[in-house]
């Protein structure tokens, strides 16, 4: 069956500088096995499939697959999937919000300044880590950290704060046999270059350590953590992907209700059809 298909660039500030996402605009009738096989074939960090919602309060449903498994939630697939859904003629029930259904439940999105932003979901694990894990992270990063905490909204992130963006960019982590650690690192920038912090996201695998170019889920939980540490902090812009030759920008804003909105640009790179 011929199905509408797009690859979009999420969070990029220039062409092909963000995080790519494959989106099948209609996944109706596909089995779990078929979705997983196609996601493995695209060989991108995530591939999504849009479906009619099962929840009456949602506008659409999305299933998110890595090359090996399904995820309950991920940030850049949320923004990219919403952009494709709207571009395919999707009409939200409400003018001010779009509601996505996924593995973690309902996620709200809104349009802002020509971009999309999602409301950060609640973390499934937060708070300080134990001293054993802190020392393990410092050994992995080969540097001392200012603070470290759980920042897990599904993928399993642990967050570490360094003194500066330069120190974040200089990292050459040694994960060794620590292959279960999904580690996000953030440091403040002293350069007036349109961003306030530098972020890197590491998720080691059995064969090689990998780094994600621009990570919506991590930036969402990082913002929740950083704004808890500094209640006066209401908004900032994170740059990510610099060490990989990318240039992604993620905009974080906390509204009066305490919801943190995670926004960025989405650009269509490839549009066509997939035979599934």
Residues designated catalytic: 46
Sort 133 into a burial class: Cβ within 10 Å, 0-12 / 13-18 / 19+: middle
Q: Phi and psi for 233 in degrees, rounded to 5?
A: -75, 120
Full DSSP string of 4-54: EEEEEEESBSSTT-SEEEEEES--TT--HHHHHHHHHHHTSS-EEEEE--S
Residues 195, 140, 161, 71, CA torsion sign: positive
Q: Which of 173, 155, 150, 170 is nearest to 222 (CA)?
A: 150
Cα 4 → chain centroid:
24
Full DSSP string of 139-163: HHHTS--SEEEEEESSS-EEEEE-S
């Amino acid at each position: 069956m011929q199905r509408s298909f797009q690859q979009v660039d999420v969070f990029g500030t220039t062409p092909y500088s963000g995080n790519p996402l494959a989106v099948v605009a209609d996944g109706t009738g596909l089995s779990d096995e078929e979705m997983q096989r196609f996601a493995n074939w695209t060989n991108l960090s995530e591939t999504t499939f849009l479906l009619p919602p099962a929840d009456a309060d949602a506008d659409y449903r999305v299933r998110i697959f890595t090359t090996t498994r399904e995820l309950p939630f991920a940030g850049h697939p949320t923004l990219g999937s919403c952009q494709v859904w709207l571009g395919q003629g999707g009409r939200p029930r409400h003018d001010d919000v779009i509601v996505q259904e996924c593995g973690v439940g309902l996620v709200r999105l809104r349009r802002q300044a020509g971009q999309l932003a999602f409301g950060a979901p609640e973390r499934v694990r937060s708070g300080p880590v134990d001293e054993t894990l802190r020392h393990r992270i410092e050994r992995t990063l080969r540097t001392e950290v200012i603070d470290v905490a759980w920042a897990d909204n599904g993928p399993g992130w642990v967050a570490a704060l360094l003194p500066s963006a330069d120190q974040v960019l200089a990292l050459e982590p040694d994960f060794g046999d620590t292959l279960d650690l999904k580690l996000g690192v953030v440091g403040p920038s002293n350069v007036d270059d349109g961003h306030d912090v530098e972020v890197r996201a590491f998720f080691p695998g059995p064969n090689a350590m990998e780094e994600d170019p621009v990570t919506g889920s991590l930036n969402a939980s990082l913002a929740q953590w950083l704004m808890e540490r500094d209640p006066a902090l209401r908004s900032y812009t994170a740059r990510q992907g610099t060490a990989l030759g990318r240039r992604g920008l993620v905009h974080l804003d906390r509204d009066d209700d305490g919801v943190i909105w995670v926004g960025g640009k989405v650009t269509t790179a490839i549009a066509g059809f997939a035979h599934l």
